Amino acid sequence: MEAKVNAPNVLIVDDEIGPRESLKMILKPNYNVYAVENGYAAIQMIQQTPMDVVTLDLKMPGLSGIDTLKEIRLIDPDLMIIIITGYGTLKTAIEAIRYGVFDYIPKPFNVPEILSIIDKSIQRRKLNLKVKEVLGNCFHQYLLQEPNSDSAIPLPQEAKGFSDFKWDDANHSDNQNCLEFAKVLAYTLEEKDPYTSGHSERVCYYSDCLSKHLSFSPKERNELQIASYLHDIGKIGISNRFINKKGILTPTDWAIIKQHTKKSIELLVPLNLSPNILAYIQYHHERYDGTGYPDGLIGEQIPLGARIIAISDSYDSMTSDRPYRKPLTNGDAKNELVKNAGKQFDPRLVSLFLDVLKEMEEVFLVKDHLRVPAVSY
């Protein structure tokens, strides 16, 4: 077949000729479409031709869809994979999610929906690669650079200003560049979504206000600020179809969404950030009563910074507009915090946070100056 110049490459993997050919016809006008009937052929094709997106059936003869998915991940960790199956179960969905699928669609699929999801997956792949480029080619090199090195490492424009940064495990004396880098990543993630624009910045603001009242040291405040900006970075691997879904979330939806804390750590571990920063990000969805995720930590087992971010994140989410609901009023959001004190949130921190909000309202006078959000994912 003659490839379209600059068009994304999409591989359809399905042992049934009907769905395979119909999907091929749907996608052919906009993409370079390849189609194979089993997992072995899919792996061979991906090794020969770089792909952007793979649509993958789960129930196939020979190599199963899950085993095919595992092999594909070894070849290209950044490849966007969309499960399209008529034989899916919650168990298979969760197993697929563990290997980073972008979306999970039951057969028969809706044509406008599949076109929309393919397009979004292409855009998400570009964003993933952009963020990883900044992470891998810029920031990581500065972390590895010798303190007195004169070597010049070229940076993209958005990463200018990090050239003097070197993480110091002893005293973390110069972390301002790390904080600025975290801001760049947060802005990059949020720039495409009007519903999350500015969310990380506000979470950082609320968290920092709390940290001042807890007598954090400058180093501790800096770590909390960095973690606040990066707390949702793992959502670059989660489809907005789940993040912004209207209505009740299914168990499969929740299983997908809960992966974002794990994805965050996988993305950030190579940067050698402080253990505190990683812990705050990893555990900011733990609940005070032990029913949160990913590890079901309880009470003060949850790192203090993670407990702070949990309150700031939830408050900003509650008071911000979302596609699935209108924002709560400032008063209603406060009531939700109080109602969930001792359950979802540290009750001492909730009380302190309400005091902080009162101080902020007195300073701003008009509470509408504060863009604040309910319970976040």
Tell me whether residue 1 is in a domain: no
Dihedral of the alpha carbons of 93, 95, 101, 103, in degrees to the nearest 10: 10
Question: Please, how many CA atoms are within 13 Å of residue 350, restricted to the half-sphere of its CB?
Answer: 19
**43/144 same-domain check:** no
Buried b / exposed e over 271-302, threshold 16 CB at 10 Å, is bebbebbbbbbbbbbbbbeeebbeeebeeeeb
CATH of the domain at 13: 3.40.50.2300
Write the secondary structure of 46-95 as one string of H (helix), E (strand) and C (coil): HHHCCCCEEEECCCCCCCCHHHHHHHHHHHCCCCEEEEEECCCCHHHHHH
Question: Please, how many CA atoms are within 13 Å of residue 328, restricted to the half-sphere of its CB?
Answer: 19
**104/16 same-domain check:** yes
Domain membership of residue 185 as a residue range: 130-369
**96/139 same-domain check:** no
Q: How many domains does the chain have?
A: 2
pTM over 0.75: no
Q: What is the residue-level pLDDT of the chain in tens, covering all 377 positions? A: 667 778 999 999 999 999 899 999 999 999 999 999 999 999 999 999 999 999 999 889 899 888 999 999 889 888 999 998 877 666 677 677 767 788 888 887 888 889 999 998 998 888 777 766 665 554 444 334 443 333 333 334 444 433 344 445 444 434 666 777 777 777 766 665 656 677 888 899 899 999 999 989 999 999 999 999 999 988 876 777 787 777 788 888 888 889 889 888 887 887 778 899 999 999 999 999 999 999 999 999 999 999 999 999 999 989 887 766 788 888 999 999 999 999 999 999 999 999 998 887 765 544 344 443 334 44
62 forms bridges with which residues in the sheet? none
**304/192 same-domain check:** yes
Nearest of 292, 314, 302 to residue 346 by alpha carbon: 302
**159/262 same-domain check:** yes
